[in-house]
């Protein structure tokens, strides 16, 4: 079996004296999409932010390629090969598409140009808008730009937080295709979603979170939307 990119065991994250994440165990392997689904406030974003280094775990193990990530800041994790697309996209509205991509690469000028060119080749819709400001893009194009930005350092693991939020159904389908394409290159994908149907369609594995506690973890083929809803309601 392929060695996991990311391994989490008994992870707990405390916020304001309350356990926002309590006892998470998961593995993310190369080329696998693991969806984390749950209601708003279930702890999905907290978990991704902890993996990226923006939140500090109170206990548990967090390893990438067997390396302990605790104590490493977000920049160090980025350099180790973790890409992050936050909820709400968090783009700089005054920057162009090309500028947004360029500032996300930590290499020299030549490497940045190469990576920008590669992202524009991968996302033709962005190539047509390369000189446009981020604020002028559609919601789907902004989300595509946020994902492309997360890929600018050639990550081996990508964290996507609610990438379908607020998108039209047709655009959601395009986003799912993008997620599968990323995984198809051997990148591990951790996908946090409230939108359960699309998450199950694109995922290989699924973890259901309720109030920070995982109530199910296994193959996405073993669940449907109604079963996930029952698991969430039972845990509330």
User: Which ranges of the chain have pLDDT less than 70?
Assistant: 1-2, 235-236
**Token pair of 183 as six digits:** 């995984």
Max CA-CA distance within the chain?
Answer: 54
CB 105 within 8 A of CB 74: no
Pick the closest to residue 232 from 189, 199, 184 (CA basis).
199
70 vs 56: CA distance, rounded Å: 8
Residues 122-151: tens digit of each pLDDT: 888 899 999 999 889 888 888 888 999 999
């902004």: which residue's tokens?
142
165: Cα separation from own chain's centroid? 13
What counts of helices (H) and strands (E) characterise the chain?
A: 9, 10
3-state SS, residue 148: helix
Fold (topology level) of 6-81+155-235: Rossmann fold (3.40.50)
> What helix, strand, coil percent values describe the chain, rounded to 5?
40, 25, 35
pTM listed for this prediction? 0.90
Locate CATH 3.40.50.300 in the chain.
6-81+155-235
Task: Give the per-residue pLDDT at 77.
Answer: 93
């Amino acid at each position: 079996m392929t060695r996991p990119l990311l391994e989490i065991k008994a992870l707990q994250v405390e916020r304001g004296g309350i356990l926002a994440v309590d006892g998470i165990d998961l593995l993310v392997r190369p080329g696998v999409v693991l969806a984390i689904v749950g209601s708003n406030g279930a702890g999905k974003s907290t978990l991704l932010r902890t993996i990226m280094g923006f939140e500090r775990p109170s206990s548990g193990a967090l390893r990438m390629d067997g390396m302990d990530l605790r104590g490493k800041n977000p920049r160090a994790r980025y350099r180790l090969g973790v890409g992050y697309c936050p909820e709400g996209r968090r783009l700089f509205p005054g920057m162009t598409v090309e500028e947004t991509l360029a500032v996300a690469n930590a290499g020299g000028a030549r490497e940045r140009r190469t990576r920008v060119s590669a992202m524009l080749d991968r996302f033709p819709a962005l190539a047509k808008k390369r000189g446009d400001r981020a604020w002028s893009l559609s919601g789907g194009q902004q989300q595509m730009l946020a994902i492309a930005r997360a890929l600018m350092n050639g990550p081996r693991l990508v964290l996507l937080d609610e990438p379908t939020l607020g998108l039209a159904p047709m655009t959601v389908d395009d986003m799912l295709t993008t997620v599968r394409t990323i995984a198809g290159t051997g990148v591990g994908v951790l996908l946090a979603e409230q939108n359960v149907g699309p998450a199950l369609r694109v995922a290989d594995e699924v973890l259901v979170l309720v109030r920070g506690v995982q109530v199910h973890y296994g193959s996405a083929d073993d669940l449907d939307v109604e079963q996930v809803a029952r698991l969430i309601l039972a845990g509330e």
